[in-house]
Structure 1
Amino acid sequence: MTDQRVIAVEEHFTTPDFLQRAHALDFCPGDRTEVELTRAVESTEPTRSQLLDLDARLAAMDASGQDMALLSLNPPGVQPYRPADAVELARDVNDELARIVRDHPNRFGGLATVTPQAPDEAAKEIGRAMGPLGLHGIMINSHTDGHYLDEPQFAPLLEAAEAHRAPIYLHPRVPSVLDPYAPYGLSGAIWGYGAEAGLHAMRLIMSGTLDRYPNLRIVLGHLGEGIPYYLRRIDNRYAFARRISGAATPMAQLTLTPGEYFRRNFTITTSGIDDPNALEYALRTIGDDNIMFAIDAPYEETAQAVRFLTSAPLSDVQRANISHRTAERVFGV
């Protein structure tokens, strides 16, 4: 794959200061399962070192032919914590991330962490991240204490994201309704993460939020968290429900079909799905100019993901868009 930049856009990191402070904080009771799992992961080798050691990250990138990574705080970030603690944590993490980006401007970009539990403060931080800090977007780890971005209290955050042209990477986390997922390990990446992020995206679409904020750009990992493969049925069932809508089937009056919002407002990434058949279907459904490369490091193997990108049956234009052009357009890197 000659003269092609390779930019990966869902790549996690943390800092020693964040680990020390966050691991000592109280958290929302409903987040216990996820926080305890995250703290165990962040305290266990080799993942702890992989999240912290950016020199080793650069070496792995060099060895595989990856040019750039957009770093984001390891999920669920600051969202399980009280606003008073989370706001300060978010600012400090973003300051450190901005320093990393300044020190390695051709290798690292950054997605800021913000506090949906304090929407006005999140709005201010979006302005700071996209302005003086020079970051490239924000990451939100799906629900915050069981609440979703289509709810009215999050209007300041969405207004700021639209005004500052800050793409929102909507990352999965353990579902807000946990009980059905708890058995058999279903709450994690094997199923619950994708179901949760897909639900959040569908709420944004079906609530009319994207009519109120038509210029929002939402990014979904894992080739769209299942939505591209259901779009035909989603549009079909939406049309059916509109015909019979009433008290029994309350529904926002949308300007576009769900599929039209998805193609207009969403971009998807390849993170964690090195499957040529799934990629081929996504290409047919939403096009290569709405797909970006991502690895999900350190939870997926960098070398394997880059090999998939270079070997997948793609045209030169498709490979260029997925490997770097879409990320350059969406994130301004």
Structure 2
Amino acid sequence: MDSTPSTPLSHTPDAIAPVPDGPSAPLSGAVDVHAHYITPTLREAMIAAGSNSPDGMPAIPDWNVPDALDLMDRTGIAVSMLSVSSPGVHFADARSTRILARTVNEEGASIVRDHPDRFGLFASLPLPDVDAAVSEAGYALDVLQADGIALLTNYDNVYLGDPAFDPLMAELNRRQAVVLLHPTSPAGWQDTCVGRPRPMIEFLFDTTRAVAQLALNRVLENYPGIRFIIPHAGAALPVLADRIAAFAFLESERPVDVVAALRGLYYDVAGLSLPRALPALLNLVDPDRLLYGSDYPFTAGWIVEGLASTLASHDFPSADEKQALLSGNAAHLFPRLKL
């Protein structure tokens, strides 16, 4: 793992604080709900599919268990809930996608079995094949004992709020599954990404687009048992919530209560959540809906440490709210961790 800054610390954003000298970690007992893993199998599949620069990022980052544990110890992360990031596992035909999803899930479950107190797993599904996804969700949750499911915002440009996904939503609702939502590149990104990696802007708007559709199409209302985790401090939702709610009112005689729907979701603070995004999110949701996230390794280790230092030293949120964000709220979602 490369922990050396690629830019001078004096030029880093305000959100990335220098890590204080000394043996103590910035955080204490944090549960990282937004941590990724990249097995050799997944890396080979990405390279074979030409996804050497996923979503416009410079390269597929390195990841292995010892490096992940080392960063967790330095940062104060007690447990990392592992998931596959964008572009997911759908690179070829439906059969190949099923095989890759199963293999990567089993590899993730093996990591958790070897380190049950340090790692958890959000399983990947072989979407857009909905029937196969329902089957894999059952296998992952029942046999592999996965802690939840990871879903991308869209699959082949079809968003999760589309009725095509209703059988999967019904199954996840029946199981009261925890679902980590993760953005991916939208259709037409070539014309909208302004020549930059899609995680800079497009990921935030794709998350916003997906959650807006989940709310407006009443998926959140019809499947209330699903515990969704929305990444990156809610993306643009804190700013756009009232605008989306207004259009819902204009479109229907029985409008969706968009703000209430958004307040019922969970949100991780992965990325640059301070000093601006997190206060905006807390204008929308209560502190008991916040969770910690690092986005490692797509966020480099030294940045993870700097962001953790910022969160630890910032006077917002309050100390009690901060501890709830780091671990207390996660304890309700993942009781097996015995936090």
TM-score of Structure 1 vs Structure 2, range by shorter chain: 0.7 to 0.9
Separation of aligned partners in 1, 2:283 and 2:209: 23
Q: 1:197 — aligned with what?
A: 207
Following TM superposition, by how much is the alpha carbon of 1:20 offset from its aligned partner in structure 2, in angstroms? 2.1
Q: 1:277 — aligned with what?
A: 276
8 Å Cα contact 2:112/2:121 also seen in 1: yes
Give the match's secondary structure for 1:271: coil
8 Å Cα contact 1:223/1:271 also seen in 2: yes
Following TM superposition, by how much is the alpha carbon of 1:73 offset from its aligned partner in structure 2, in angstroms? 1.6
Gaps of 5+ in 1: 26-31, 244-252
Which range moves more in the overlay, 95-104 or 166-175? Answer: 166-175
Q: For 1:119-151, what per-residue CA distance to the aligned partner results, in whole angstroms no more than 9, with x for missing partners?
A: 111111112222221211111121111111222
| Count of aligned pairs between the two proteins | 308
Q: 2:311 — aligned with what?
A: 309
Q: Percent identity?
A: 24
User: Aligned partner of 1:285: which letter?
Assistant: L
RMSD (Å), alpha carbons: 2.4
Q: For 1:226-256, what per-residue CA distance to the aligned partner results, in whole angstroms no more than 9, with x for missing partners?
A: 102222333234334446xxxxxxxxx44x4
Change (3 A) 1:95 1:75: same
Give the match's secondary structure for 2:184: coil
Structure 2 residue 294 is the aligned partner of structure 1 residue 295: yes
Give the match's secondary structure for 1:68: strand
Change (3 A) 1:280 1:120: same
Q: 1:144 — aligned with what?
A: 155
Which range moves more in the overlay, 309-318 or 97-106? Answer: 309-318
User: Aligned partner of 2:104: which letter?
Assistant: V
Gaps of 5+ in 2: 1-24
Separation of aligned partners in 1, 2:325 and 2:190: 37
**Could you state the TM-score of these two structures normalised by the residue count of structure 2?**
0.83
Which range moves more in the overlay, 280-289 or 82-91? Answer: 280-289
Alignment of 1:1-333 (within 5 A): 4-25=28-49, 35=51, 37-38=53-54, 44=59, 48-49=61-62, 51=63, 53-185=64-196, 188-242=198-252, 253-254=254-255, 256-264=256-264, 266-300=265-299, 301-313=303-315, 314-332=317-335, 333=337
Q: For 1:82-122, what per-residue CA distance to the aligned partner results, in whole angstroms no more than 9, with x for missing partners?
A: 21101111011111111101111111111101022111111
**Greater than 6 Å deviation, 4+ residue runs:** none
Separation of aligned partners in 2, 1:3 and 1:37: 31
Give the match's secondary structure for 1:286: coil
**Could you state the TM-score of these two structures normalised by the residue count of structure 1?**
0.85
Change (3 A) 1:160 1:183: same
Tell me: higher relative CO, structure 1 or 2? Use CA pairs within 8 A at least 6 residues apart.
Answer: 2
Separation of aligned partners in 2, 1:196 and 1:329: 28
Following TM superposition, by how much is the alpha carbon of 1:216 offset from its aligned partner in structure 2, in angstroms? 2.0
Change (3 A) 1:284 1:12: same
